[in-house]
Chain A
């Protein structure tokens, strides 16, 4: 199942080979190969329900694949014990779609949470670190608010500050733009880019917001029907000859993915009603 990688081996942080994942009767991935390069923003795009979130959970070790390997920096994620997995996860950040802030803690305590759990730092240092992270997402002034008082976009920014609290080597974004107004979308795009460049980390963005994601991504994988359909830089994908890629990137209503759900013949279906 070896596939020629578009990157040199030293560039690759996460290597996925022959990934197969089945949930119930549904095959979500069937032979997915992809490489996430270090220090870049890699986008994974595809229609709703193609298991993009599932892929992030597989990379984070919250789900186990039925076959294939997921290697992060040479370590196979699903072969690690809980202790080693937790060691690895301390170096991973993940931004959940909803933000997933702890509702019983205020904004400041949410950002301080990983620091308090994983370090023995004195209180004044924790305060300084948490405020630096909050400042970087522009919400230092919102430190005393509760998650319920935040808008969706602000909640995601707080969650982002929390995800980078321990200075991870990589960060995974699950649908960071969905349901955001244009301003908040712009803020998040800028943040993802700045944080990636400033902290020198590796970013994975899972999304189906084509334009926004294509603007910030260095490399894009398109997933559909359980496999990688196309991959390349945004410019390369723009020149792709595949009709499916064309339809997806330009949001055309009809194409290889039909507008109509499979149905019996329209005329016959309507006429069948006359006998009732």
Chain B
């Protein structure tokens, strides 16, 4: 019993220390960001690798998500003769929830895991330590550009995801199932509010998710145990922890924004 309690205490302490390390890490990371004003090229290279290279998976997935929404929505709305509201259904689902959430989950799998593995491998091969010994701060040179690039890319990817998803829905609903095109767009326009839905949904949510996802990815890479098994574990943890954090935060944000709490 005592041993069990000791184990619990040790586990708790280890978790808390790690949380503390993570917070200190974020502070130092944020402090390193101004350095990028002098070296914008570092940021641009990373924007390409986390942002542009994530586009294919974001575009393809969003088209499919939109198309599924169109199909599902249509079969459920037709019995009530409400298929004209399909535009509203697709747009609100994507703008409020699916756009930011699914984009963040895909981002964690595509870009977050790659960030963790890259930084972890740089640590394991002593590249970070040797940079540090050359009086070049790895926080500024390596971590800050990756973090900021991800933070900028996330809302853009979520926006693209949402827009492409709506197009996918349009394709199924209007072109295939014969919903009236005018009704599809005008109902959508009438019911989606800029501040209520777009700013609250895509914009704020994806900014929060972008902060969390990139913080986790960069921290896991930097904090990795420098062995191949350690890097594997860190990469997994990035995807798992980001997914859990995104879904959990999504509930909190939704409750605050739309839940009337």
- Chain A positions within 8 Å of B, measured between CB atoms, are 57, 60, 62, 82, 86-87, 89-90, 92, 94, 96-98, 100-103, 113-114, 117-118, 159, 162
CB atoms of A118 and B135 under 8 A apart: yes
Sample (15) of A-B pairs whose CB atoms are under 8 Å apart? A62-B132, A82-B137, A86-B137, A89-B133, A89-B134, A89-B135, A94-B130, A98-B125, A100-B127, A101-B127, A103-B127, A113-B134, A114-B136, A117-B136, A117-B141
In this complex, what residue of A is CB-closest to B45?
A104
**Distance (Å) between the CB of B88 and the closest chain A CB?**
47
Q: Please indicate the chain A residues that have their CB under 8 angstroms from the CB of B129 in the complex.
A: 57, 62, 96, 100
Expressed in whole angstroms, the minimum distance between the Cβ of A57 and any Cβ of chain B is 8
Supposing A100-B127, A102-B127, A103-B127 touch, asked if A92 and B136 sit within 8 A by C-beta, the answer is: no
| B residues apposed to A, CB below 8 Å | 125-127, 129-137, 141
Bound-state Cα–Cα, A100 to B141, Å: 16
Q: Nearest 3 CB-CB pairs, A to B? A: A100-B130, A100-B126, A86-B135
Point out the residues of chain B lying under 8 angstroms from A114, CB to CB. 134, 136
Alpha-carbon distance between A101 and B131 when the two chains are bound, in angstroms = 9
Least Cβ distance of A123 to chain B in Å? 15
A117 near B134 (CB under 8 angstroms)?
A: yes
Residues of B within 8 A of A97 (CB): 126
The answer to whether B125 and A100 have CB atoms under 8 Å apart is yes
A30, chain B: closest CB distance, angstroms: 25
| B39 nearest CB neighbor, chain A only | A117
CA distance A92 to B136 in the complex (A): 12
Interface pair A94/B133, CB less than 8 Å apart: yes
Residues on the B chain within 8 Å of A60, using CB: 133
B141 cross-chain contacts in A, Cβ below 8 A: 117
